[in-house]
Chains A and B, each alone.
Chain A
């Protein structure tokens, strides 16, 4: 087996977010890191939307990001701290839309190591130096400067190491143009390590240390060091120089402190939420902070771990700080990064769940929220007082949510199924944490926003939109053709019928075109009407006995096909008349479709006409004056062409010209072909084929995302468009359409008007590049797993959340405090403010049954007695075959570290009311946590800690039938086929066992040679299992076939038991494939995405990614892609400086897998490099691109 890995949806959790002017224009942009991917987001501040401009996979772990700007420059550079042992400086090139590596300096080994810098990055606010630090000991300072040609230079590293020191945080202090200073929060452990009494550890202090880079001496010195709160965790620098007093805010548990050399220490407590159920022993941390500088002032926004934002203002006179003030601002999701745009927007990169984009409505200057000032909380001797202050949380007041970016993180479980009986299966995924959790149903297709639907008197056959004059910005008319009439609608405030347009209303229409300067053209079966702006009409009549069947037009040229296959050509002449050419041409068969090249701006004539005939051919004819309607080339097809569209797409395929002309051919058998049309000779080459659906494909030219695009209508609509130098062909998540046209109006610059049945529909597409569109069903607690009831097609979800009040517990606690349930704090929306936090060791958990079709929850059951659900299975018992049961594994009074429980339980429920509700049958106590449950031959197979047991249904409880206690640690996954059971251990990879009915025992006969911390697995076939581990590895293990046969023939089980080998089972499985995905895998399934398509392994990751492994089918393909991958590694080394091969082999060398993501980066190479690689592979660049595209198309 040899696999090809492809990312279908890149992980969308953000771990770093920075703001800057990366394009070098006034526009502020965001750069976010999705751990192994760097993305440029451009906020559109006029409409308040955030658009993704560029996303690039770096094949490494981005741990820190920083932006800096050289003094006097207008463009920001990006510094990346990664796991590569290198510091990398990138520049964004807006014309090519790529990140370019400016500098890459190696300083250490690769990997996320303790003493190799990369974890922390801090830049001098004036862009003169950057410090890159590690968790312990090492810190390097690089001086940034520019050379004579104004290029960025980077100095050799200056060391600021301090051994035996753990670093909590680093930031650059704003000191104006004095020597750059970096502030570090450090703990020296050297004494604690030597002192057996533990006294030294208690006395260990956390130090705030200033490292000064002496630019004159080219040397870093420890300038100042002072003890701060032991629980400090974050530094936020305060503007300095001419903007403010300089210094840093040290955020620690419960307090924010201002510190600077020679300045008084000022401390203010962090206001806490008023909450009767508050755990007073729990400290409050600040998780992120951001400074916003305005013309003459500045403020800081700090965010607590509950998500509350605080506005902090520093009251200063000159460089002397008098006071710091803190005030509750608003509550937003807990952020991994906060960015404030100058235009008054706040970007919140959530650590879990969707990212939010807010507009500042106010700056929190109101007086009704209490403000706390440091001067009120200092005792006389300068020590802070231990006082808690509170605020009352309230809905958003200063901020307004304007946009959301989807993030599926954390994605805990997913399944691919076709519960809704659609063309393609859906992905059901459990996403989110706490009260922001959802179940998301993903469908392959672009999201469509419907703007209007209006019914028409009859079923129309076609629709067009048209402008009235060549320089109109927007469409003015919608023309609808019926089988015997034509209707003209004018677009204004409302869409209304108009009659005095010059259009012939009593006939069907074949084509409509805005012609020349200000004329309109209506082509109908008997002739052509040329309608001038003054309503003067010129008619051209079809010759007797013949009628017009097809037409193709642009603003200057018109071609019509008459019955019998005769073509007639017209052109707009200088006096704006439509003049017929003297040349006519007889085609070999009936003409089924026509297309004329779109007219570039300023041109009078284009050269190519495409004609499709019913003899299964498409011909390219010339429209040049000298060779009018002369044939140039021909392509034979597998079926009759139904529709043709020629469009110009900007791309890099053909060097020299900026655009490539594509001929799109829709066939009657549902196939779409895309062919490159050579602009000089009119030859066709490089054909890409794709089956779209059962219906004949009709094509329409549109404008999407600023570029020409093609809408293809078959049994579902598809869109072929260009994004980030690749042509995408994605289905739309919309009903089947009959006919469509582009629609441009003031409110909707890039819309589509289409007909479906007797309705006229107007819609837009906004989220390009997101191949899945989602429907979300809200959940209450962090979802863990779900199963599908196979008979009634309902879904049962278990939701379990740590240290949270369950509904009953909360009521009890409130009653205990003498508060009624409906006190005012209940108004808080848990989706924004979270569920009420309880003590560690307390759990809230529920079982929910919902319908995937309407998304409605039909049943919920909150578990009582501090039980938490961890596993779920649907099954039927042989003793009661008529009923469908649900088994839920729970733990009571679970504490996480050290792990302990009072008891485990297996609940058995019966599905009632058509599978929409549950009824408890009984509950069986077990000694450990049941992490895995499975239906097994009419009984229940349960992994309970290290024991694997078979249970049968009894009257009062489950009856233990069989047990094996030889699993090393804890069973987390279970699968079976026939009598073979595959067990996944939390730490020790997979174990193969067989159930021997004669002896009623389970025998483990094979295990893995290496240990793996399993998170998910799936059986690919009887002998093979694929799995993922906590370190982001994917692997496939296979039982040798000979052994597999022997085990199955061996009914007594003597061979299976064998003699243990190396403290494990008698036999070992072989590793077939191994690959580092880079993110924790949370679910995996063998499935096929296209009906009847190829089977593949689909996986989901914790950060919200979806990917696939497709098996190769021929040896040639394997060789081809392996060679291509090798060339790509050389020609396009990853941006963050990590070696691709060692990244994919992070823990174990890559085996049996090709990385499709790096192969797809072939499209981003320059033409020279493309050709060079193509020569090495004995192919043309187009062939290579086609092969790469085919791999993706065949899978999805």
Chain B
């Protein structure tokens, strides 16, 4: 039941964003990691305060910046080689 295993994996991948697969590229891996980290920073208020303190910005501004970075955290993807 290899197909069953595959379908289970696909189910996981669709349910949990960022679940890896055999062909995960370095870019995808990095992007997922960055988005996960940014989401965690935003969730933990002390962390946002810490950044805000270092940058001398308001917490709302730091949160805005980080959320914006989540859209494309590692720059555009590399050209796909066939």
From residue 273 to 292 of chain A, which have CB atoms closer than 8 A to chain B? 285, 287-288
**Nearest chain-A residue to B69 (Cβ)?**
A166
**A112 contacts which of B16, B39, B58, B77 (Cβ < 8 Å)?**
B39
CB distance from B18 to the nearest CB of A (A): 7
CB distance A196 to B35 under 8 Å?
no
Given contacts A114-B36, A195-B76, A1102-B49, contact A83 B43 (CB under 8 A): yes
**A1080 contacts which of B40, B47, B60, B75 (Cβ < 8 Å)?**
B47
CB distance B67 to A168 under 8 Å?
yes
Residues of B within 8 A of A305 (CB): 57-58, 60-61
**Residue B53 lies at the interface, judged by CB distance under 8 Å to chain A:** yes
- Convert B26-68 into 0s and 1s, putting 1 for each residue whose CB lies closer than 8 angstroms to a CB of A: 0000010001101110111111011011111111110010010
**Residue A696 lies at the interface, judged by CB distance under 8 Å to chain B:** no
CB distance from B24 to the nearest CB of A (A): 13
CB distance B61 to A135 under 8 Å?
no
The distance in angstroms between the C-alpha atoms of A477 and B50, with both chains bound, is 56
The distance in angstroms between the C-alpha atoms of A1031 and B47, with both chains bound, is 7
CB distance from B42 to the nearest CB of A (A): 6
From residue 979 to 993 of chain A, which have CB atoms closer than 8 A to chain B? none
**Nearest chain-B residue to A63 (Cβ)?**
B43
What interface size band does chain A fall in? 35 or more
CB distance B56 to A801 under 8 Å?
yes
The distance in angstroms between the C-alpha atoms of A736 and B38, with both chains bound, is 54
**Residue A598 lies at the interface, judged by CB distance under 8 Å to chain B:** no
Q: Which of B31, B47, B58, B71 has the most CB of A within 10 A?
A: B58
CB distance A136 to B61 under 8 Å?
no
Given contacts A187-B71, A193-B77, A1080-B50, contact A433 B43 (CB under 8 A): no
Residues of A within 8 A of B44 (CB): 61, 112, 1031-1032
Given contacts A195-B76, A433-B53, A433-B56, contact A189 B71 (CB under 8 A): yes
**Residue A1030 lies at the interface, judged by CB distance under 8 Å to chain B:** yes
Chain A contact residues: over half helix, strand or loop, or mixed?
loop
Q: Which of A118, A196, A288, A434 has the most CB of B within 10 A?
A: A196
Q: Which of A197-205, A791-799, A950-958, A1173-1181 contacts B (4 or more CB under 8 A)?
A: A197-205
Residues of B within 8 A of A1101 (CB): 46
Residues of A within 8 A of B55 (CB): 802-803, 840, 896
The distance in angstroms between the C-alpha atoms of A410 and B71, with both chains bound, is 30
CB distance A166 to B53 under 8 Å?
no
**B43 contacts which of A119, A287, A803 (Cβ < 8 Å)?**
A119
**Residue A233 lies at the interface, judged by CB distance under 8 Å to chain B:** yes
Residues of A within 8 A of B40 (CB): 111-114
CB distance A118 to B50 under 8 Å?
no
**Residue A509 lies at the interface, judged by CB distance under 8 Å to chain B:** no
Residues of B within 8 A of A1079 (CB): 46
Residues of A within 8 A of B56 (CB): 433-434, 782, 801-804
CB distance from A61 to the nearest CB of B (A): 6
CB distance A136 to B46 under 8 Å?
no
**Residue B21 lies at the interface, judged by CB distance under 8 Å to chain A:** no
- Convert A288-302 into 0s and 1s, putting 1 for each residue whose CB lies closer than 8 angstroms to a CB of B: 100000000000000
Residues of A within 8 A of B47 (CB): 1030-1031, 1080
**B53 contacts which of A288, A334, A410, A1030 (Cβ < 8 Å)?**
A410
**B35 contacts which of A61, A136, A804 (Cβ < 8 Å)?**
A136
CB distance B53 to A782 under 8 Å?
yes
CB distance from B37 to the nearest CB of A (A): 9
Given contacts A115-B16, A135-B67, contact A189 B50 (CB under 8 A): no
Residues of A within 8 A of B80 (CB): 196
Q: Give how many B residues have a beta carbon under 8 Å from the other chain's beta carbons.
A: 38
From residue 155 to 193 of chain A, which have CB atoms closer than 8 A to chain B? 163, 166, 168, 187, 189, 192-193
CB distance A197 to B61 under 8 Å?
no
CB distance B77 to A115 under 8 Å?
no
The distance in angstroms between the C-alpha atoms of A1030 and B40, with both chains bound, is 13
The distance in angstroms between the C-alpha atoms of A412 and B77, with both chains bound, is 40
Given contacts A136-B35, A233-B64, contact A198 B57 (CB under 8 A): no
**Residue A15 lies at the interface, judged by CB distance under 8 Å to chain B:** yes
Q: Which of B36, B46, B56, B70 has the most CB of A within 10 A?
A: B46
CB distance from B11 to the nearest CB of A (A): 14
Given contacts A115-B17, A285-B64, A1102-B50, contact A351 B72 (CB under 8 A): no
**Residue A1072 lies at the interface, judged by CB distance under 8 Å to chain B:** no
From residue 239 to 266 of chain A, which have CB atoms closer than 8 A to chain B? none
CB distance from A305 to the nearest CB of B (A): 4
**Residue B78 lies at the interface, judged by CB distance under 8 Å to chain A:** yes
**Residue B79 lies at the interface, judged by CB distance under 8 Å to chain A:** yes
Residues of A within 8 A of B59 (CB): 287, 334, 336, 351
**B72 contacts which of A114, A192, A434, A896 (Cβ < 8 Å)?**
A192
CB distance A352 to B49 under 8 Å?
yes
The distance in angstroms between the C-alpha atoms of A958 and B79, with both chains bound, is 52
**A35 contacts which of B35, B45, B67 (Cβ < 8 Å)?**
B45
**B76 contacts which of A168, A196, A285, A1078 (Cβ < 8 Å)?**
A196
**Residue A1067 lies at the interface, judged by CB distance under 8 Å to chain B:** no
**Nearest chain-B residue to A115 (Cβ)?**
B17
Residues of A within 8 A of B35 (CB): 114, 136
**B67 contacts which of A83, A166, A287, A1102 (Cβ < 8 Å)?**
A166
**Nearest chain-A residue to B28 (Cβ)?**
A193
**A204 contacts which of B54, B61, B71, B75 (Cβ < 8 Å)?**
B71
**B78 contacts which of A196, A352, A802 (Cβ < 8 Å)?**
A196
Residues of B within 8 A of A166 (CB): 67, 70-71
**A61 contacts which of B18, B43, B75 (Cβ < 8 Å)?**
B43
The distance in angstroms between the C-alpha atoms of A137 and B17, with both chains bound, is 9
Residues of B within 8 A of A840 (CB): 55
The distance in angstroms between the C-alpha atoms of A61 and B67, with both chains bound, is 19
The distance in angstroms between the C-alpha atoms of A115 and B57, with both chains bound, is 27
- Convert A101-134 into 0s and 1s, putting 1 for each residue whose CB lies closer than 8 angstroms to a CB of B: 0000000000111110011000000000000001
**Residue A409 lies at the interface, judged by CB distance under 8 Å to chain B:** yes
The distance in angstroms between the C-alpha atoms of A1032 and B45, with both chains bound, is 11
Residues of A within 8 A of B71 (CB): 166, 187, 189, 192, 201, 204
**Residue A1114 lies at the interface, judged by CB distance under 8 Å to chain B:** no
**Residue A869 lies at the interface, judged by CB distance under 8 Å to chain B:** no
Residues of B within 8 A of A801 (CB): 56
**Nearest chain-A residue to B48 (Cβ)?**
A15
The distance in angstroms between the C-alpha atoms of A434 and B52, with both chains bound, is 11
CB distance from B81 to the nearest CB of A (A): 11
CB distance B39 to A114 under 8 Å?
yes
The distance in angstroms between the C-alpha atoms of A252 and B74, with both chains bound, is 24
**Nearest chain-A residue to B31 (Cβ)?**
A193
Residues of A within 8 A of B76 (CB): 192, 195-198, 201
**Residue A1098 lies at the interface, judged by CB distance under 8 Å to chain B:** no
- Convert B1-19 into 0s and 1s, putting 1 for each residue whose CB lies closer than 8 angstroms to a CB of A: 0000000000000001110
**Nearest chain-B residue to A1080 (Cβ)?**
B46
CB distance B49 to A13 under 8 Å?
yes
**Residue A194 lies at the interface, judged by CB distance under 8 Å to chain B:** yes
**Residue A520 lies at the interface, judged by CB distance under 8 Å to chain B:** no
**Residue A629 lies at the interface, judged by CB distance under 8 Å to chain B:** no
CB distance from A405 to the nearest CB of B (A): 17
**Nearest chain-B residue to A34 (Cβ)?**
B45
Given contacts A193-B77, A351-B49, contact A113 B60 (CB under 8 A): no
Q: Could you list which residues of chain B lie within 8 angstroms of chain A, going by C-beta atoms?
A: 16-18, 31, 35-36, 38-40, 42-47, 49-50, 52-61, 64, 67, 70-72, 75-80
Residue pairs across A and B with Cβ atoms less than 8 A apart, 23 shown, are A83-B43, A112-B39, A112-B40, A114-B36, A119-B39, A134-B39, A135-B70, A136-B70, A166-B71, A195-B77, A196-B77, A197-B76, A287-B61, A305-B58, A305-B61, A351-B59, A1031-B44, A1078-B46, A1080-B49, A1102-B46, A1102-B49, A1103-B45, A1103-B49
For the A-B complex with A285-B61, A305-B60 known, give 9 more contacts whose Cβ atoms are closer than 8 Å.
A112-B44, A137-B17, A189-B71, A195-B77, A198-B76, A201-B76, A336-B59, A1103-B46, A1103-B49
Give the top 10 A-B pairs by smallest Cβ distance, nearest first.
A112-B43, A287-B60, A114-B39, A305-B58, A198-B76, A802-B56, A135-B39, A15-B45, A233-B64, A1080-B46
